């Protein structure tokens, strides 16, 4: 008969799954909005305004925690800088810039590389160990992503060509993979609002000179009702809500498992394209979605010993300044 402890454990696992399943949906919307605004809002302007609005809205909730833990934030200053510049400023700036000169299919394909990069960097930096279930689950998820992106046609992969935009987007994926790993090294007891507020402040300070350079170069935004709504979405939903949920998921299941859920972005992207752009959902979407879910489930069937970070390296990372 299930005990209260079993029920609590099941609830925690379910909460982690929900926390990780929602960010890809919200980030898929970020891709859709970023693509839609490419002719009205330059990439550096979009990235700067997005993080500035998010910072202003979060400040009332983040400031008390930042004041209380100011010494801890100073001790962790380099960890805060590297997570802010990779997961917030770098990732979004590079994606918005890349979407100006690459196709949606190429961007989605490159997005699916993030879990592979997390595994690679995790092994190189923290000596992480991974079970066979995780390897098979990741392979299944990658297969599902390819089915969707290639429309079920292998010839599309053979004919795929990469542009300068692809290289820029790929650098963005590298940034997010590093962010996922470095986020895990931050102390678990830091206030989430204060942590994100500090990261947003760093991102805004970094992006401001980029915005000014773009503005002085004559690349200026066209402010319309649609562009303002789009910026509000990427600032409040994609920046704040999605990031909080992803941080919670990484804290519960680790960066490697959390990274697998990023495979859901092209699935959600197909659904959003159908609802918002009138595109037809075809059979390969359902096949790919099923394979991706199978991979996510399979990767979570492992024992608790799998996918744990080398404790010595993990504690050393937490102690860094």
Q: How confident is the model at residue 286 (pLDDT cuts 50, 70, 90)?
A: confident
Question: What is the pLDDT at residue 9?
Answer: 58
Cβ distance 318 to 185 under 8 Å? yes
Question: What is the pLDDT at residue 158?
Answer: 63
Residues contacting residue 123 through CB under 8 Å, at least 6 positions apart = 130
Question: What is the pLDDT at residue 256?
Answer: 65
pLDDT over 70 (residue 126): yes
Average pLDDT over the chain, rounded to whole? Answer: 78
CA–CA distance, 31 with 80 (Å, rounded to integer)? 25
pLDDT over 90 (residue 140): no
pLDDT over 50 (residue 310): no
pLDDT over 80 (residue 237): yes
HEC profile for 101-116?
CCCHHHHHHHHCCHHH
Question: How much is the average pLDDT of 12-35?
Answer: 78
Sketch the domain layout of the chain as residue ranges.
14-318
pLDDT over 50 (residue 311): no
Question: What is the pLDDT at residue 160?
Answer: 57
pLDDT over 60 (residue 46): yes
Question: What is the pLDDT at residue 307?
Answer: 42
Question: What is the pLDDT at residue 312?
Answer: 46
The reported pTM is 0.73
Cβ distance 263 to 297 under 8 Å? no
Residue 183 vs residues 100, 142, 249, 285: alpha-carbon distances, Å: 29, 24, 11, 32
Question: How much is the average pLDDT of 243-251?
Answer: 76
pLDDT over 60 (residue 31): yes
Question: How much is the average pLDDT of 315-321?
Answer: 44
- Listed range (88-102, 152-166, 168-182) with the worst mean pLDDT: 152-166
Q: How confident is the model at residue 151 (pLDDT cuts 50, 70, 90)?
A: low
């Amino acid at each position: 008969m299930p005990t209260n402890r079993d029920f609590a454990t099941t609830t925690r696992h379910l909460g982690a799954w929900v926390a990780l399943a929602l960010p890809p949906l919200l980030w898929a919307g970020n891709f859709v909005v970023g693509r839609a605004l490419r002719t009205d809002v330059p990439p550096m302007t979009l990235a700067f305004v997005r993080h500035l609005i998010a910072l202003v809205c979060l400040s009332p909730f983040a400031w008390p925690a930042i004041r209380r833990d100011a010494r801890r934030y100073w001790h962790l200053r380099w960890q805060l800088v590297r997570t802010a510049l990779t997961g917030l400023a770098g990732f979004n700036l590079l994606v918005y810039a890349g979407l100006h000169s690459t196709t949606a299919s190429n961007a989605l394909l490159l997005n699916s590389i993030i879990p592979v990069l997390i595994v690679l960097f995790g092994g190189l930096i923290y000596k992480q160990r991974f079970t066979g279930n995780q390897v098979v689950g990741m392979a299944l998820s990658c297969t599902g992503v390819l089915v969707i992106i290639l429309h079920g046609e292998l010839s599309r992969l053979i004919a795929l060509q990469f542009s300068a935009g692809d290289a820029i987007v790929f650098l963005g994926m590298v940034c997010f993979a590093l962010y996922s790993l470095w986020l895990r090294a931050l102390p678990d007891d830091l206030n989430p609002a204060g942590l994100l507020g500090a990261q947003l402040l760093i991102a805004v300070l970094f992006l401001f000179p980029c915005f000014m350079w773009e503005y002085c170069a004559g690349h200026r935004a066209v402010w319309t009702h649609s562009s303002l709504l789009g910026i509000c979405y990427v600032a409040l939903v994609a920046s704040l809500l999605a990031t909080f949920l992803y941080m919670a998921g990484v804290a519960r299941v680790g960066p490697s498992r959390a990274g697998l859920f990023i495979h859901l972005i092209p699935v959600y992207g197909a659904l959003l394209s159908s609802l918002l752009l009138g595109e037809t959902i075809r059979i390969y979407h359902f096949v790919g979605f099923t394979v991706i879910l199978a991979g996510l489930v399979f990767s979570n069937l492992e024992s608790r010993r799998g996918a744990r970070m080398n404790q010595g390296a993990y504690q050393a990372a937490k102690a860094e300044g």
